[in-house]
Amino acid sequence: MSRYRLAIFIIILIIGVFFAPLAFQIFHSLIIEPAAYYWWAIKQVTQVIPQSAYWVFTITSLGFVVLWIQFRNQILGKSKNENIPSNSGSVQNFAADISQSGKSNFFKWVIANHLANLTLKILDQQNGFDGEKSRNFLTSNWNPPQGVRKYLEAGLHNSFVAYHNKRRLLRKQDKTPFELDLSLVIDYIESLMES
């Protein structure tokens, strides 16, 4: 440290020691005393207010907060819903399920269930069942490839719970019938519609 810097440091230290009591007095008179006075005044006022008034104030405040949240959610909900097209239908929902299918077996099962019900509807129309819907694929024109058969039967008769994720260390997840390429199933359904 140079002599010049040492001299400046010593001068600042002397000034600080000399003015420290004055700075403490200013801090005490400008900040501590007013804060203590306001705290004492608030304490005096709160001792006069009955306990029931606190409860009324608390409950009323909570009611206003709940109403404000509901009102805000309605306003925000309306503005969000204005951006959503009103004609969202089963095709858009089905596309959303397909986009989610990589996340869990539930979405894979939802897709398989939807495609199995669509296949049943086509088979019922071809076989002349206009009234009651059949709940199985036991019809004369039911002849899909083996993988598509397992996929559609699992989608119709099983639940996604039967194929829950078994996550264990150093073990691959068991394959399910829902791992089939969707294009094979869609090709089969299209071939049914063409026949």
Q: Which residues on neighbouring strands pair with residue 171, listed in sequence order? A: 168
Q: Is the pLDDT of residue 27 over 70?
A: yes
Percentage of the chain modeled with pLDDT above 90 = 8
Q: Is the pLDDT of residue 7 over 60?
A: yes
Instruction: Tell me what pLDDT residue 118 has.
Output: 83
Angle in degrees, CA 61, 64, 67, rounded to 5:
150
Instruction: Tell me what pLDDT residue 131 has.
Output: 57
Average pLDDT over residues 65-73: 84
Q: Is the pLDDT of residue 170 over 50?
A: no
Other C-beta atoms closer than 10 Å to the C-beta of 98 total 15
pLDDT band at 64 (very low <50, low <70, confident <90, very high): very high
Contact 126, 192 (CB under 8 A): yes
How far is residue 179's CA from residue 102's CA, in Å, rounded to a whole number? 10
**Poorest-confidence range of 49-53, 87-91, 100-104, 173-177?**
87-91
Average pLDDT over residues 79-94: 56
Q: Is the pLDDT of residue 101 over 60?
A: yes
Is pTM beyond 0.75 here?
no
Specify whether the backbone of 118 is left (phi greater than 0), alpha (psi in -120 to 50) or beta. Answer: alpha
pLDDT in tens, 132-166: 566 666 666 677 888 888 888 888 887 766 666 55
